[in-house]
Structure formats: C-alpha cells, structure tokens
Copies of this chain bind each other. A is one copy, B any other.
C-alpha cells in the first residue's frame, strides 16, 4: 500500500484536522466530535446535514457551507457514523427551523441516522434517502452515490432561501426522484486499515456498475474505449424509469479519486455528444472528483432531469470548500 499517511488509525482524524486548517473561514470541527460544521452558522433557516463513511472526499464535509450543508458527519472509512455523532450534528446544525438529513441508502447509514433523529427530542428532524445508482435492479436496494451532491446543492439553496422544512424536504425528494447515476472502475480502492485492495481487477478488466465502496457491479468486462464505457453507462441511466426524452438536465462526471481530470473531461465530451444527439439539453455540467472512493480509478455519470425550480436552485450561489459559485 503506497499512501501519504501515518498510522492507519489516525487517517480520518488527521484528514479532518488538515481540512479545517486549510479552510478555517468555511468549516470547523465541532469540539470533541468528528462533526464538521460551518464556521459561520446561519440562524433562522432549515439546517441540512449529511454524512456517511469517510473515503468519499470532498463529500460530504467539502460541501458544508453557504448554500449547501450545515453539517457533515464522517464515519470511519467506508463505515457509517455512530448515532451519537449524528445527534451532535443535528443539535449543532439546528437553527430553529428543523433539520433535514440527506442519507445515502446503505442500511447502516439509514439505521444510525434514524436512531439519531429519534434521540433528538426537541428538534424537528426529517430525512430523505438518496438512491441514484441504477446498477442495482431492485429499487429499494439502490445505493446513494454521486447524485447525492445534487440534493445537497438544490435542497441547500432552498433552505438558504428561507423555505420551510417541508418545502426543503419536498425539493430534495424531487431531486432524488429525477437523478440517476452509474459508474465504472478500472482499479480498486485500498482502505488504509486493510492495506490491500478491496477487490481485484485484471490488467485488461473493468467493472461496470461499481458501487462507491467497491460493491460489485453488473458486469466485469474487458477494458473498452472511453466512449464505449460512457455509452454503456448512459444506456442504463437513460433506460431507467426517468423519462429524459427532450428534457433539460444537469450532468455530473465524477471521478473516484485516482482518475485525473484529463480522463473525466474526455468522458464529458462523449456524454455531451450523446445527449445532444438525443435532443437532451444540458443546462449545467459538473466534472471532477466529487464523490470519491479513496484511491479507486473510476468514474460515474449522473443525470438530473431538471424543472424550473431545480434549475434555479442549482444555479444559486454556494460557498463551500469544494464548490463555490456566485
């Protein structure tokens, strides 16, 4: 295992410290916890929190800030955060109008976030569960992956604009209903404490439909040209139950941590060409390492079918460590 780390048990802590040191104007660590909150808390708005296992940086702490999240709860790497940590985040983030939890659909995450919500007696807490990964057939089992960041952005802008908890939850659910993602991996990730890759791929193989923790995909295939991979991912996304025909969409081409921008932009060219050919209008595109999988070499494509409300909120200002726009 070749990584810039010290003791494997210190990775999460040192990473969080290093992030807060880098951006003291934006984020800070809630004392005695692993919770990352805004340095400048905004009162009188619905608070939005998210979280899950570490290893997906910049998600989720990198999206704490104006117009997106109020707190992030990172667990150990690829491990759900404990309910007491989530409760700390709920208590710290609440600004008098209730808390929306944006939870990716993993059983441990859902269980622990819901336990924390039950423990938060005096605060109104609502939950949405993201499930954008079309690689899983059974909809109830679909994992929350990169498309979760669309929820952070759009629900975050709605909350920042002063909407009620019910309104913020409603737009978050609308984003979830209209977001579909699928990914592919060329090389697995290595959890520091494990010291070796989570799975193996031969030099000429790729995994289509990979999960963000290396969960098996829908097929293991011979490595294909990027265009063929993009076409396969898009065929699953466009063939799912959101009707993208003639729609206006947001696109996310997301890297898994070890895939350089060069390749992600190259993939985006194909995404653009295929969608344009199909008459799908691209309103906004995000390319980068957004929801990563430690040092996996891989990428995912997400499409969000927009309406006027979601489009306006997607274009609203945000100021976070990992995403800023006027």
Query: Interface residues, chain A, CB within 8 Å of chain B?
Result: 2-7, 11, 14-19, 21-23, 54-55, 57-58, 62, 186-187, 203, 206, 223, 225-227, 229, 251, 253, 257-270, 272, 282, 285-287, 289, 292, 294-295, 297, 299, 319, 324-326
Contacts and interface: CB of A to CB of B under 8 A. Distances in A.
A129 to B, nearest CB: 25
B260 A18 contact: no
Contact of A5 (B57, B225, B286): B225
Instruction: Count this chain's copies in the assembly.
Output: 2
- Chain A contact residues: over half helix, strand or loop, or mixed? mixed
B21 A268 contact: yes
Contact of A268 (B22, B62, B206): B22
B261 A4 contact: no
A227 B6 contact: yes
A165 to B, nearest CB: 28
Contacts of A295: 258-260, 297
Nearest to A297: B2
26 contacts: A2-B187, A2-B203, A2-B223, A3-B263, A4-B186, A4-B259, A4-B266, A4-B267, A5-B266, A11-B262, A11-B266, A14-B270, A15-B265, A17-B272, A18-B265, A18-B272, A22-B287, A57-B261, A57-B262, A258-B258, A258-B295, A260-B295, A261-B289, A289-B289, A319-B326, A324-B326
B258 A15 contact: no
Contacts of A58: 261
A289 B258 CA distance: 10
A71 B38 CA distance: 35
A21 B266 contact: no
Given A6-B225, A22-B285, 11 more contacts: A2-B203, A4-B186, A4-B226, A4-B263, A7-B225, A14-B270, A19-B265, A21-B272, A57-B265, A257-B261, A324-B324
A18 B262 CA distance: 9
Contacts of A289: 260-261, 289
Contacts of A7: 225
